[in-house]
């Protein structure tokens, strides 16, 4: 019975999107939010103005000096839906001249994923974190096809702002780590380096791993785009990060992506939980990123 039900799920593309994508939308009228800053291990009360600009407060209602600034950004995807993003810039740390475009995983939204990048903000990076269609304040429906369209839209938006980004590094985790090579391969003239952390190698590979149906799951899964195929077409520096203790995405998928990537490439095996690299290995990951950027641009960013 369980086998039949799972097969039926895989037979429907929309159902597979539901299995694969777990968006957390935020009502457009929301004026407050509660989130956890994983780097400081505190609960933060956030006030949102009509443009979703956040003001951070502690549990006593006092305004917090976070050591960084966040501005809300909006840009359209090719379907005309407005996507929302947070742009984070360091205040307590000097800029290192590099910008990260961060594609988060399959669940939550920018308010639940932003702290993933704070260890890098503390090390001088600016970061744009977009929400995919149907996530957070972003309009539209969450589908695998829209996720890729939205990733491309975010990259084009960031490059089109005219801001001095310095070196631009595309950093993806989990679902976003699968997305990042697919966007990078098609627009490698717009970025300087690629980082994938805790990423699955393809939709059919992860369907096999999650559905436990072996060949049948692979046969039934529609492969719209594939990280292992795209990363082989990318010709700039690549860093693959994957935890040996990852209980969500098998470590072997990180090895598979690294094997498919062109040089220059680096594989950084780590420990700890799924996509927890920034919390435990920020110095090492940052050092690798800056070395990649120096090679790509021929000097210090």
Confidence band of 6 (pLDDT split at 50, 70, 90): very low
Q: Is the pLDDT of residue 8 over 70?
A: no
Q: Which domain range does residue 73 map to?
A: 2-23+67-297
184 within domain boundaries = yes
Q: Is the pLDDT of residue 167 over 60?
A: yes
40 within domain boundaries = no
Q: Is the pLDDT of residue 301 over 50?
A: no
Amino acid 10: pLDDT:
41
Taking the C-alpha atoms of residue 137 and residue 18, their distance in angstroms, rounded to an integer, is 19
Structure tokens at 5: 């039900």
Of the listed ranges 41-45, 52-56, 153-157, 181-185, the one predicted with least confidence = 41-45
130 within domain boundaries = yes
CATH of the domain at 257: 3.40.50.1820
290 within domain boundaries = yes
Confidence band of 218 (pLDDT split at 50, 70, 90): low
Amino acid 217: pLDDT:
52
Amino acid 159: pLDDT:
97
Amino acid 9: pLDDT:
44
Total number of domains constituting the chain: 1
50 within domain boundaries = no
* Range among 205-209, 214-218, 273-277 with highest mean pLDDT value: 273-277
Question: What is the helix (H) or strand (E) element at residue 83, kind and residue range?
Answer: strand 82-90
Burial 58-77 (b: 16+ CB within 10 A, else e): eeeeeeeebebebebbebeb
Share of residues in the chain with pLDDT > 70 (%): 82
Of the listed ranges 46-60, 70-84, 98-112, 198-212, the one predicted with least confidence = 198-212
Tokens 């799924």 belong to residue:
274
Residues 6+ apart with CB under 8 A from 72: 51, 52, 53, 54, 84, 85, 86, 87
Confidence band of 19 (pLDDT split at 50, 70, 90): low
Tokens 């598979």 belong to residue:
256
Q: What are the pLDDT digits (tens) for 86-109? A: 999 999 888 999 999 999 999 999
Taking the C-alpha atoms of residue 155 and residue 32, their distance in angstroms, rounded to an integer, is 28
Amino acid 294: pLDDT:
85
DSSP output for 195-223: EEES--S-HHHHHHHHH--THHHHHHS--
Classified as helix, coil or strand, 151 is: helix
49 within domain boundaries = no
Amino acid 57: pLDDT:
83
Amino acid 211: pLDDT:
57
Q: Is the pLDDT of residue 256 over 80?
A: yes
55 within domain boundaries = no
Amino acid 265: pLDDT:
97
Q: What is the pTM of this model?
A: 0.89
């Amino acid at each position: 019975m369980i086998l039949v039900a799972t097969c039926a799920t895989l037979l429907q593309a929309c159902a597979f999107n539901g299995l694969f994508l777990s968006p957390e939308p935020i009502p457009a009228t929301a004026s407050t939010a509660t989130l956890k800053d994983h780097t400081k291990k505190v609960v933060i009360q956030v006030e949102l103005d009509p443009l979703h600009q956040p003001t951070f407060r502690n549990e006593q209602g006092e305004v917090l000096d976070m050591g960084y600034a966040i501005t809300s950004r909006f840009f359209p995807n090719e379907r005309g839906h407005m996507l929302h993003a947070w742009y984070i810039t360091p205040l307590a740390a000097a800029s290192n001249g590099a910008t990260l475009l961060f594609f988060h995983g399959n669940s939550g939204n920018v308010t639940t994923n932003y702290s993933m990048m704070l260890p890098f903000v503390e090390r001088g990076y600016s970061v744009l974190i977009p929400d995919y269609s149907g996530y957070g304040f972003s309009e539209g429906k969450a589908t695998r096809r829209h996720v890729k369209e939205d990733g491309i839209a975010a990259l084009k938006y960031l490059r089109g702002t005219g801001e001095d980004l310095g070196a631009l590094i595309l950093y993806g985790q989990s679902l976003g780590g699968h997305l990042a090579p697919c966007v990078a391969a098609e627009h490698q003239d717009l970025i300087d380096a690629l980082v994938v952390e805790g990423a699955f190698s393809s939709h059919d590979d992860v369907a096999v791993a999650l559905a436990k149906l072996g060949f049948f799951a692979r046969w039934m899964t529609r492969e719209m785009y594939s990280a292992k195929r795209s990363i082989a077409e990318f010709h700039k520096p690549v860093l693959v990060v994957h935890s040996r203790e990852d209980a969500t995405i098998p470590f072997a998928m990180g090895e598979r992506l690294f094997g498919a990537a062109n040089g220059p490439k680096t594989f950084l095996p780590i420990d700890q939980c799924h996509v927890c690299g920034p919390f435990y290995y920020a110095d090492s990951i940052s050092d690798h990123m800056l070395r990649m950027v120096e090679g790509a641009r021929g000097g210090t960013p």
